[in-house]
Amino acid sequence: MAQNRVKPVPVIFDSDMGPDYDDVGAITILHTLADKGEAKILATMASTNYEGVAGVLNVFNTYFNKPWIPVGVPKGTALNLRDWQHWTDTLLAKYPHKIKTNTEAADAVKLYRKILASQPDHSVTIITVGFLTNLSNLLNTGADEYSSLTGKELVKKKVKQLVCMAGRFPSGSEFNVMKDAPSSKNVYENWDTPVIFSGFEIGVKIKAGLPLIHNSTIQNSPVKDAFRISIPMAAEDSLGRCSWDETAVLVAIRGYNLFYDLHKGKIVVAADGSNTWDDKGIGQAYLVEKADYKTVQDLINELIMHQPVSKIINKRSIGQVRKNQSTGSRIAKIEALNRKIDKIEANIRRRETEISRVEAQ
């Protein structure tokens, strides 16, 4: 009997990748679900512009065998907040990444316009787990070489939904909304597609990272390194880091039904970035717990321990080769296996390009 294949969700991922390290968990879950065929990553965007943020995104894309994923950074005014634990410095020093400076990355707004213009109508899910800087700038754009539509028109035509780790509900102040309040206010007042919020109260209970850092089978992982470095540096993280950003990715790809209900209405952002909720508003909703949060916690901890497919293959194959072959033969076998992996990955990239071309027609 033929099985119904789930069509991968086309995603643009927008992160502040640095002030906190739940962004690491979020991009890891995104790549995990992409490896499972549930997501297709169109681009990874930084909503901050501290030097090195483009390289950090490229580190994760490279680690998960997708170094070709475009990276965008704000080229104008943006926050330059970065991690105080310096895990980003470790990752940039330790792991391969082709993008060395932010100047080598694309302008985030131009990249948004280029990608959205090439996608089928009402198809793209945008996930924000940082500031709304890029999306505000996108809404303010006019026609360009990629589309005759304004930013607001392009969003309405091409975006299916916006899923944000943002806000505190039903009211309060939350970092992602507050730090660039004018952008947050512009986006949430003028965005013309459905918006789902995973608020502060959703992720604060969910602790992630301890199973990962205690898993001795995972080695040379930027994901593990970020959590390994950061967790011991804050007493409040002794049980793991709060999973604010991870929940947004999970809901954006797999939907909210298993774990959450939606409270519909519309966010109201004040000039200082604090938020309230208008139950009479339309087009937006925030998550409300339905399942035990520990169920989501277990799932997140499992997903962030995912390793790149080729890395798993290499580990298993090298172990088997060592049992049976001399040193020279081992090396030859490993090199042959890596060539096969390279061919498989090249075929995957070629197939993804063909699918994108067909979908854009």
pLDDT tens-digit map of 147-160? 999 999 999 999 99
Q: Do residues 248 and 26 lie in contact, with contact meaning Cβ atoms separated by under 8 Å?
A: yes
pTM metric for this prediction: 0.86
Q: Supply the pLDDT for residue 343.
A: 59
Q: Supply the pLDDT for residue 320.
A: 44
Give the end of a domain, one of 307, 322, 353. Answer: 307
Q: How far apart are CA 150 and CA 241, in angstroms?
A: 39
Q: How far apart are CA 196 and CA 290, in angstroms?
A: 16
Locate 284 and state its tokens: 């937006």
Residue 320: domain span: 309-361
Q: Supply the pLDDT for residue 130.
A: 98
Q: How many domains does the chain have?
A: 2
Nearest to 127 by CA among 217, 173, 200, 195: 195
Q: How far apart are CA 73 and CA 137, in angstroms?
A: 12
Locate 324 and state its tokens: 């049976």
Asked whether residue 191 is domain-assigned, the answer is yes
Q: Do residues 47 and 74 lie in contact, with contact meaning Cβ atoms separated by under 8 Å?
A: yes
Give the end of a domain, one of 279, 307, 335. Answer: 307
Asked whether residue 1 is domain-assigned, the answer is no
Asked whether residue 3 is domain-assigned, the answer is no
Q: Do residues 334 and 318 lie in contact, with contact meaning Cβ atoms separated by under 8 Å?
A: yes
Q: How far apart are CA 268 and CA 266, in angstroms?
A: 7
Same domain, 266 and 352: no
Same domain, 341 and 270: no
How many CB atoms are closer than 10 A to CB 7? Answer: 11
In DSSP notation, 222-267 reads HHHHHHHHHGGG-GGGTT-EE-HHHHHHHHHHH-STTTEEEEEEEE
Q: How far apart are CA 20 and CA 97, in angstroms?
A: 21
Q: Supply the pLDDT for residue 227.
A: 98
Same domain, 267 and 334: no
Same domain, 198 and 98: yes
Same domain, 303 and 318: no
Q: How far apart are CA 35 and CA 69, in angstroms?
A: 14
In DSSP notation, 45-60 reads EESB--TTHHHHHHHH
Same domain, 226 and 187: yes
Same domain, 186 and 216: yes
Same domain, 341 and 237: no
Asked whether residue 4 is domain-assigned, the answer is no
Q: Do residues 152 and 190 lie in contact, with contact meaning Cβ atoms separated by under 8 Å?
A: yes
Helices (H), the chain: 22-35, 53-63, 87-94, 108-118, 133-139, 151-158, 175-178, 181-190, 200-203, 210-213, 222-230, 244-254, 293-303, 309-324, 327-360
- The count of residues in the chain is 361
Asked whether residue 207 is domain-assigned, the answer is yes
Same domain, 245 and 352: no
Q: Do residues 356 and 118 lie in contact, with contact meaning Cβ atoms separated by under 8 Å?
A: yes
Q: Supply the pLDDT for residue 1.
A: 36
Asked whether residue 218 is domain-assigned, the answer is yes
Same domain, 257 and 343: no
- CATH of residue 173: 3.90.245.10
Mean pLDDT per 10-residue interval, the chain, length 361 residues = 70 96 98 97 98 98 98 97 96 97 98 98 98 98 98 98 98 98 98 98 98 97 98 97 98 97 98 98 98 97 92 47 46 52 56 55 54
Asked whether residue 349 is domain-assigned, the answer is yes
Same domain, 254 and 316: no
Q: How far apart are CA 283 and CA 204, in angstroms?
A: 25
Helix (H, G, I), strand (E, B) or coil at 341: helix
Give the end of a domain, one of 307, 322, 347. Answer: 307
Same domain, 258 and 330: no
Asked whether residue 244 is domain-assigned, the answer is yes
